[in-house]
Structure formats: structure tokens, C-alpha cells
Amino acid sequence: MGAGVVKSGGGGGRRGRRRGGRAQPMAEINITPFVDVMLVLLIIFMVAAPLLTVGVPVELPKTAANALPSENEEPLTVTIDASGVVMIQTTEVARDDLVNRLRAIATERSDDRVFLRADGAVPYETVAQVMGALNAGGFSSIGLVTDIGGPALDGSGR
């Protein structure tokens, strides 16, 4: 994979040959296999990256808010889908059992932040009830997840 051997000299005569008959190492490195491996890895990561997101499909409302800074610990995500079903990460949870599950999770985590994803069609009352359950479960820092590109409501018309 690295260096090859180049023989110096031309035809069959003695004039162009070196003494001792040794072959000289080639000073060029063949990087073609390295580039091939890097391109394959790039394609693998490009295909795998979109699959690493939380897989509960909801239609998030659009706002002009900036994204929250990320931390080292994976954030806890609570999702409310369009039919009102509550999920912690990707596991469906009954509303009666939500506070108990959240308390159990809160004892194992060092961070009290939680991201709440709610479908835009879910009534505000349902979102407020789940936020109350999150607070009762030990999570005091609740971030509402939205999509970007919504109206700014500052008169700019975006």
C-alpha cells in the first residue's frame, strides 16, 4: 500500500545501470486506497446520521425562537402526539403513571432538563397538564421544542 520499487536505467546495456544492481525505492505514496476508505465512511455516516433522531413523528409548531444549547447528557424528551398519547423518549406512558415514571427517571439523572415536544394540533390544556406532571416528577427546567421558520411577531413579517 505504500512504496514501490523503481529500477533505474534504460535498455539492456551496461551504460545506464548502477553498480551493485540494487533497485531504488519509489518516493511516492499511493493514497488511492486511503481515499476510497474515507469516501465509504463518509457515505455510511451520511446515511446513518438521519436515523439517530428520536423517532416519534409529530408536527411541531413553528416559532422564531433560537435553539437551546446542548449538554453532554442526552436530554430527556417527552412527546405528545396528535391523538394526545404521551411518550417518554419512544415509550408510550399512561397519563396516570406519568408522574411516577418521571420521578423514577429523575432519581437516575443528574440533569433536571427535559424537552417537551407536542404536536401543533394538541390543545394547550393537554400541554399544560403534561408540563405540570413534569414539574411534579422532578423536572424544573422544561424546554418546548418547536420548528424554526415561524412568524417572528415583531412586525418584520417573517
Q: pLDDT by residue (tens digit) across 23-38?
A: 777 778 888 888 999 9
Place of cell 436530554: 75
Query: What is the C-alpha separation between 64 and 118, in angstroms, rounded?
Result: 17
Structurally, at CATH architecture level, domain 62-148 sits in 2-Layer Sandwich (3.30)
pLDDT digit string, tens, across residues 115-141 = 999 998 899 999 999 999 999 998 888
Query: What is the C-alpha separation between 24 and 3, in angstroms, rounded?
Result: 11
| Residue 125, pLDDT score | 92
Query: What is the C-alpha separation between 95 and 66, in angstroms, rounded?
Result: 30
**Exposure of 158 in the CB half-sphere (CA atoms within 13 A):** 10
| Number of neighbours of residue 79 by Cβ within 10 angstroms | 24
| Residue 25, pLDDT score | 77
Mean pLDDT of 11-22: 57
3-23 per-residue burial string, b: 16 or more CB within 10 A, e: under 16: eeeeeeeeeeeeeeeeeeeee
pLDDT digit string, tens, across residues 63-113 = 777 766 665 667 789 999 988 899 998 889 998 899 999 999 888 888 888
- Where do you find CATH 3.30.420.270 in the chain? 62-148
